[in-house]
């Protein structure tokens, strides 16, 4: 047993060093590549993201945004990534927007590749061949995802199609026939998404409906209307706006009217300013429906511009065009019904004038901000920060609107109960004497 005592202290002390050392160099975290496919009738677009370090290592090209480096990157992408038809024919490749960018992480090479099938072949069945980086870096893989397929998949939630890595560099894509119904549903979704993300359109609508529950008397906004007339006013306003933007959207899309997007966007932001000023002090009282229709014509040009920039085919197809417009209307109605209900309830309180003035000022500020940005171009950081703030604010406003509606319903159904508490009824939530 004597031997066991030899170096016992040393073992007790140092065993853990080995234990520690054994824990080294395992589970190393490495970035991988990604490919997002968008399928159209006549082509496939592939957005690629490759970690810049791996790209440089594999290609031995610099990862920089000067013209020569970008040219090298484009050549690398077109040589290493391509599509082949089931018949074995190679598709044509065009690279767009190859850039080295850092999006909250390491620098990536991002590029958009437009791939077109040979004449007479469809764009829904192909083999994606991806050799970029995976051949040179053993543990590297590229995840291949289908992001959108207008005729085959509703929405733009990416679905994993497969992955490529060293030894397996092909992903087979067989999407089958496309469907008109799916195409229509995607267009509806696109329209609804565009309204949700198009904060300028929402700001215009908000500014416009702020005065809907109010009566114009003696040159200013006075006492409120009853519920029925308020809703009628809102319905007329939204219908006017819808008629206006639908007319220009359909006309511009089908007959190819085009105005430069810059001036159109500026007029859209100015329309918000006018509507906000009108909510502060009447400018065109009792002619709101006319104004909504007139400004709707300009907003329609904006929608048409967006649609054609997304995909020209969509704007030329009457089914998708109607779907897009329907999506806009549905989302508009959904938001308006919540906001207007809340406004009508708030209009029965004493502090509605504060709400109206506050929201009108916010809309006016945003209108000025967007006008300046669209005219002279404000710093991107400022624009991004403002957009984020507006998005957060709009979410809060929507939640507040829901709370107001619930509160309003509750207070009306439980008036007797509330009536016991004078302070509560004084707070402004009593039923308005008829």
Contact set with another protein (CB under 8 A): 1-32, 52-58, 60, 62-63, 105-107, 136-139, 141, 143, 158-160, 163, 165-168, 351, 422-423, 427
Q: In angstroms, give the least distance from the CB of 13 to another protein.
A: 5
Rounded Cα distance between 226 and 214, Å, is 9
Q: In angstroms, give the least distance from the CB of 7 to another protein.
A: 4
Nearer to another protein, 48 or 272 (CB): 48
Q: For residue 217, give the H/E element and its range.
A: strand 214-217
Q: In whole angstroms, what separates CA 229 from the centre of its chain?
A: 35
Q: In angstroms, give the least distance from the CB of 425 to another protein.
A: 13
Nearer to another protein, 33 or 320 (CB): 33
Coil vs helix vs strand at 113: strand
Q: Which two tokens stand for residue 343?
A: 């406004």
Nearer to another protein, 12 or 376 (CB): 12
Return the DSSP state at 225.
Answer: P
At a CB cut-off of 8 Å and minimum separation 6, what does 359 contact?
Answer: 206, 207, 210, 279
Nearer to another protein, 20 or 381 (CB): 20
Q: DSSP string of 123-166?
A: SSEEEEEE-TTTTT-TT-EEEEEEEEETTTBSS---EEEEEEET
Rounded Cα distance between 54 and 141, Å, is 11
Q: In angstroms, give the least distance from the CB of 141 to another protein.
A: 7
1 burial type by CB count under 10 A (0-12 exposed, 13-18 middle, 19+ buried): exposed
Nearer to another protein, 365 or 427 (CB): 427
Q: In angstroms, give the least distance from the CB of 186 to another protein.
A: 20
Residue 150, number of CB atoms within 10 A of its CB: 24
Q: In angstroms, give the least distance from the CB of 350 to another protein.
A: 8
Nearer to another protein, 321 or 347 (CB): 347
Rounded Cα distance between 160 and 145, Å, is 4
Q: In angstroms, give the least distance from the CB of 164 to another protein.
A: 9
Nearer to another protein, 57 or 365 (CB): 57
Residue 304, number of CB atoms within 10 A of its CB: 27
């Amino acid at each position: 047993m004597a031997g066991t005592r030899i170096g016992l202290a040393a073992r007790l002390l140092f065993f853990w060093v080995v234990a520690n050392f054994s824990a080294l160099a395992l589970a190393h975290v490495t970035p991988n590549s990604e490919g997002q496919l968008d399928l159209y009738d006549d082509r496939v677009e592939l957005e690629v993201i490759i970690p810049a370090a791996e790209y440089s290592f594999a290609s031995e090209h610099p990862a920089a945004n000067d013209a020569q480096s970008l040219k090298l990157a484009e050549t690398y992408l077109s040589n290493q990534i391509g599509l082949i038809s089931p018949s074995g024919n190679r598709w044509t490749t065009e690279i767009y927007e190859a850039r080295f960018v850092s999006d909250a992480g390491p620098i990536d090479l991002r590029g958009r590749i437009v791939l077109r099938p040979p004449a007479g072949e469809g764009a829904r069945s192909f083999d994606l061949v991806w050799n970029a980086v995976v051949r040179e870096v053993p543990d590297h893989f590229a995840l291949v995802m289908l992001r959108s397929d207008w005729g085959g998949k509703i929405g733009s939630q990416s679905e994993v199609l497969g992955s490529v890595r060293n030894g397996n560099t092909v992903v087979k894509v067989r999407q089958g026939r496309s469907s008109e119904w799916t195409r229509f549903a995607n267009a509806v979704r696109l329209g609804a998404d565009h309204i949700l993300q198009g904060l300028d359109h929402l700001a215009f609508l908000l500014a416009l409906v702020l005065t809907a529950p109010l009566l114009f008397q003696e040159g200013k906004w006075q006492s409120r209307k009853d519920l029925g007339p308020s809703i009628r006013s809102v319905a007329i306003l939204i219908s006017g706006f819808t008629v206006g933007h639908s007319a220009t959207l359909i006309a511009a899309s089908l007959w190819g009217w085009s105005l430069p997007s810059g001036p159109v966007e500026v007029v859209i932001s100015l329309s918000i300013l006018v509507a906000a000023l009108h909510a502060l002090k009447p400018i065109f009282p009792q002619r709101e429906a006319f104004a909504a229709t007139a400004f709707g014509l300009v907003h329609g040009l904006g929608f048409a511009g967006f649609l054609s920039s997304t995909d020209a085919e969509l704007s030329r197809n009457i089914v998708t065009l109607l779907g897009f417009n329907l999506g806009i209307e549905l989302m508009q109605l959904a938001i308006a019904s919540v906001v207007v209900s809340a406004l009508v309830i708030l209009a029965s309180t004493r502090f509605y004038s504060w709400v109206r003035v506050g929201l009108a000022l916010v809309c006016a500020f945003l209108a000025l901000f967007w006008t300046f940005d669209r005219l002279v171009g404000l710093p991107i950081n400022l624009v991004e920060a403002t957009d984020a703030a507006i998005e957060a604010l709009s979410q809060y406003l929507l939640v507040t609107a829901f709370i107001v509606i619930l509160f309003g319903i509750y207070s009306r159904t439980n008036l007797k109960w509330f009536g016991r508490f004078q302070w509560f009824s004084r707070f402004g939530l009593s039923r308005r004497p008829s």
